[in-house]
Amino acid sequence: MNQKIENLSKKLVEKNIKPSFQRIKVLEYLTTKRNHPTVDEIFNELVIEIPTLSKATVYNTLDLLMESKLARIVTIEENETRYDADVTNHGHFKCDLCGVIYDFPVNIDDLSTDSLKNFKINEKNVYFQGICPKCLDNIDNNKDKNKGK
Amino acid sequence: MNQKIENLSKKLVEKNIKPSFQRIKVLEYLTTKRNHPTVDEIFNELVIEIPTLSKATVYNTLDLLMESKLARIVTIEENETRYDADVTNHGHFKCDLCGVIYDFPVNIDDLSTDSLKNFKINEKNVYFQGICPKCLDNIDNNKDKNKGK
DNA sequence: TTTTAAATTTATAATGATTATAAATTTATT
DNA sequence: AATAAATTTATAATCATTATAAATTTAAAA
């Protein structure tokens, strides 16, 4: 329990970010929830525990985490920016029906990108869209229901 | 010349979109410029030729093009949405220095995505960031200059 | 052709995420 | 304890996007 706080604190200190309570809580939210949250989602949950919390602090903290590569933006086409503290190589899949964003392992380096040999590549993102198994099931079940009628 | 207009018009008609002058012009802008423009960039250029043009029309037209898969959003983390009329499989590379978005060929199906075998995949996006050759050159040249001093 | 209806475009207001600014608070330093 | 620096907070400003309704254009009917 306290062990976790200390780990998060250490992560911040390693990047020369002072581990304030607010910053630890934002990072904790990201790392434990792993739900690719919006600023609002982070704020609305944390403000319960930190009633004085300001949305500006959430924005500021996320900017800090981004700068030091402790978090990154989930690049999907949405009106609200979403964040991810998992900075290892993995893909994102957004279900067009329920909106949930799934992580999936993907070895991006499998892609041959000869045409970029003169480019310096710093980040690689893979993003798929479609329908998740849960929603596919729901569609099937509804079909069955209609059959019965 | 007129041939091009007719081709664009046909593309729209095929998708049951009435080929109004404004719609043809937006589609023409996207297909000829191929510059992943923002709504503002499209509007600012087209309003020269169509002084009565409204930004709402550009938004409406882009929504139509998206619905019928004649265009798609470039999924990169930016405050303004960017659009692309090239809906074939290809990746996007954004230079962090000059901001230019490059297309690059990529065979996304090379990626093994076993964990998504129960997902229905409708769209696949690949997005890289880094520094483009032009900007890399500029950096090198500046280094040389400083050496000379 | 004239009239009517439907579709499209336009102008404008509203929304809402993000950014900017400055004051208040907390933390660290002298 | 006093001062300075960093952080947080509250608030206002910005700006892309969406919503709404009026104006215009296009298509259809009489």
Judge if the beta carbon of B63 is closer than 7 A to nucleic acid strand C: no
Contacts of B77 in chain A (CB under 8 A): 73, 75, 81
Among B36, B62, B87, the domain boundary falls at B87
pLDDT of residue A49: 97
Give B11-56 pLDDT, tens digit per residue.
999 999 999 999 999 999 999 999 999 999 999 999 999 999 999 9
Residues B113 and B53 in one domain: no
Phi, psi of B18 (to 5 degrees): -65, 130
Residues A21 and A69 in one domain: yes
Residues A42 and A73 in one domain: yes
Judge if the beta carbon of A20 is closer than 7 A to nucleic acid strand D: yes
Task: Give me the tens of pLDDT residue by residue for chain A, a chain 149 residues long.
Answer: 578 888 999 999 999 999 999 999 999 999 999 999 999 999 999 999 999 999 999 999 999 999 999 999 999 988 999 999 999 999 999 999 999 999 999 998 888 889 999 999 999 999 999 999 999 999 888 876 765 54
pLDDT of residue A48: 97
Euclidean distance between CA atoms A75 and A87, whole angstroms: 13
Among A64, A85, A106, the domain boundary falls at A85
What is the DSSP track for B28-74? HHHHHH-S--BHHHHHHHHHHH-TT--HHHHHHHHHHHHHTTS-EEE
Total tally of structural domains belonging to chain B: 2
Residues B63 and B93 in one domain: no
Residues A95 and A147 in one domain: yes
Residues B44 and B112 in one domain: no
Residues B50 and B27 in one domain: yes
CA distance B127 to chain A (A): 5
Residues A73 and A93 in one domain: no
Give A38-55 pLDDT, tens digit per residue.
999 999 999 999 999 999
Residues B96 and B49 in one domain: no
Give B50-93 pLDDT, tens digit per residue.
999 999 999 999 999 999 999 999 999 889 999 999 999 999 99
Among A69, A85, A101, the domain boundary falls at A85
Among B61, B66, B85, B90, smallest CA distance to B7 is for B85
Residues B31 and B82 in one domain: yes
User: CB-CB: which of A77, A123, A130 is closest to B129?
Assistant: A123
Residues A5 and A54 in one domain: yes
**Which one is predicted more confidently, A74 or B4?**
A74
From residues 26-65 of A, list those within 7 angstroms of strand C by Cβ.
38-40, 55-56, 59, 63
Contacts of A105 in chain B (CB under 8 A): 115
- Which residues have C-beta within 8 Å of that of residue A109, sequence separation ≥ 6? A89
Q: Which helix (H) or strand (E) holds B112?
A: none
Q: Is A141 exposed, middle or buried (0-12, 13-18, 19+ CB in 10 A)?
A: exposed
Which domain does B135 fall in, by range?
88-149
CA distance B96 to chain A (A): 9
Instruction: Tell me the nt nearest to B19, Cα to C1'.
Output: C8
Q: In this structure, what CATH number is given to the domain that contains residue A58? A: 1.10.10.10
Residues A104 and A81 in one domain: no
Contacts of A131 in chain B (CB under 8 A): 119-120, 122
Structure-token match 């938004």, residue found = B59
Dihedral, B9, B125, A121, A15 alpha carbons, nearest 10: 130
